[in-house]
Amino acid sequence: MQKLGRDYTPEELIELLYNDRKKKVWIAYALLITFGSLGGHRSYLQFVPIAVIICIASLTAFATFASYPRIYYISQSIVIMFMVFDCAFIPAMVRQHNKILRLGLESQYKPTES
């Protein structure tokens, strides 16, 4: 494969793409701190279904704050539970995402032996 006038070996290309696309722990923690109640860190790590659940629970808590305190406490508890869990497991989630990324790149760009 050629890029910028240079031919890359499959291994170099895999490494180049991996370094460009891999997720970083510090960015996931920054998103947890700033947009954690909306599931921003989960979206970054491509756990979109869980991010949608967190976002819906957070918006439900916001919408029912004054009118329905019991629903507010339940939905806020769900959001807090996910955020506490994610504080401990973000490094493992990042490693899992990066491992899947590398395996996908290797299966896509490694030459097949025949």
Question: How confident is the model over 47-72, as a mean pLDDT?
Answer: 89
- Listed residue (102, 97, 106) closest to 24, CA to CA: 97
Q: If pLDDT is split at 50, 70 and 90, which confidence band does 67 have? A: confident
Q: 6-7 and 2-3: which strand pairing?
A: antiparallel
Question: How confident is the model over 45-54, as a mean pLDDT?
Answer: 93
What number of residues does the chain have? 114
pTM: 0.81
**Residue recorded with tokens 């109640």:** 37
The pLDDT > 70 percentage for the chain reads 93
- Listed residue (70, 79, 22, 23) closest to 50, CA to CA: 79
What three-state secondary structure class fits 45? coil
